[in-house]
Chains A and B, each alone.
Chain A
């Protein structure tokens, strides 16, 4: 075992099963993610999982990095905008990119509910020591109904997209692996999709079904499928 390995092990002795959530809220898209993260936060609280909820103005790079450094959360659930190389926080502040200190993210599981992060960033971070990265290889899509735009949790169309994606963090919080979380989420999306295209689906749902299909197709796990917060 070389010094590099030893130093990493020493650094990671503080790694724990806590959850760090980022949820900016500065436009319609982030507003939906902000509110739909609440059921996950409630689940973490019910399970007494240590939780660091960086919401709105707290979702900045400075605060995010300080929590990574001091709390060493084992699971990062990031909501927001992004592209192939970044995930952003409040007002597009870049929270995570390839320049992040590798020791801060070593052995973590990351779920980035943002656009395109599965294209490049996920692979880069896994090379930096992240055990598993779940993200999307294209833009993450949510179908919305205009009459519910100001009350996202009451939006029945958005529910079909965001409830299955919430299964990723809640499954991981139950101690299951990243691979299982991804599969459960996709199974639920598929179930919703099949309902949407069936005669039971409304015209709006049938129209929006292919948007959900895009999310199913673009959701990826990079790294160790067997990674869990218990491993």
Chain B
């Protein structure tokens, strides 16, 4: 199992922009009722979107998480995880 940061993934600028677009698109359907407690912040949809837009530490983790999730989904890891 790899647990690489976005910088370690060495995505091209184009790939990174597409991933960012995907993450931002998904955030548009985030339910208003939920928020994410990450680090010392509790972030709603709007705040999360801003973090991804600015590609700060939290924004990058959101992008890593979504990419990892999609990759794991594609290889069926969610059904065979230890």
Query: What residues make up the interface of A, taking CB atoms closer than 8 Å to B?
Result: 27-30, 32, 81, 115, 137-147, 149, 157-158, 183, 186, 190, 193-194, 197, 203-204, 207-208, 210-211, 213-214, 216-218
CA distance A203 to B44 in the complex (A): 16
Contact of A141 among B1, B29, B36 (CB under 8 A): B36
Within 8 A of A (CB), among B20-40: 29-40
Taking a contact as CB atoms under 8 Å apart, the answer to whether A207 and B36 are in contact is no
Measured between beta carbons, the chain B residues less than 8 angstroms from A144 are 34-37, 42
Chain B interface size, under 10 / 10 to 19 / 20 to 34 / 35 or more? 20 to 34
Query: What residues make up the interface of B, taking CB atoms closer than 8 Å to A?
Result: 1, 3, 29-42, 44, 58, 61, 64-66, 68-69, 72, 78-79, 81-82
Contact of B69 among A138, A139, A183, A213 (CB under 8 A): A213
Shortest Cβ distance from A80 into B: residue: B40
Taking a contact as CB atoms under 8 Å apart, the answer to whether A115 and B3 are in contact is no
CA distance A115 to B54 in the complex (A): 21
Measured between beta carbons, the chain B residues less than 8 angstroms from A203 are 31
Give 6 nearest A-B pairs by CB, closest first: A210-B69, A142-B37, A28-B42, A214-B65, A29-B37, A204-B31
Taking a contact as CB atoms under 8 Å apart, the answer to whether B72 and A213 are in contact is yes
Chain A facing B: main interface SS: helix
Measured between beta carbons, the chain A residues less than 8 angstroms from B61 are 138-139, 214
Smallest CB separation, B63 vs chain A (Å): 12
Measured between beta carbons, the chain A residues less than 8 angstroms from B41 are 29
Smallest CB separation, A141 vs chain B (Å): 5
Measured between beta carbons, the chain A residues less than 8 angstroms from B65 are 210-211, 213-214
From B29, B37, B42, B79, residue with most partner A Cβ within 10 Å: B37
Measured between beta carbons, the chain A residues less than 8 angstroms from B69 are 210, 213-214
| A141-B38, A214-B68 known; A146 vs B78 contact (CB < 8 Å) | no
If A214-B68, A217-B1 are given as contacts, then 20 extra A-B residue pairs at C-beta distance below 8 Å, sorted by A number, are: A27-B40, A27-B42, A28-B42, A29-B38, A29-B42, A115-B38, A137-B3, A141-B36, A141-B38, A145-B34, A146-B44, A186-B81, A194-B79, A204-B31, A204-B33, A207-B34, A214-B65, A217-B3, A217-B68, A218-B3
CA distance A88 to B3 in the complex (A): 24
Taking a contact as CB atoms under 8 Å apart, the answer to whether B81 and A208 are in contact is no
| A186-B81, A210-B65 known; A141 vs B37 contact (CB < 8 Å) | yes
| A137-B3, A210-B65, A217-B3 known; A143 vs B81 contact (CB < 8 Å) | no
Smallest CB separation, A142 vs chain B (Å): 4
Taking a contact as CB atoms under 8 Å apart, the answer to whether A146 and B34 are in contact is yes
Taking a contact as CB atoms under 8 Å apart, the answer to whether A186 and B29 are in contact is no
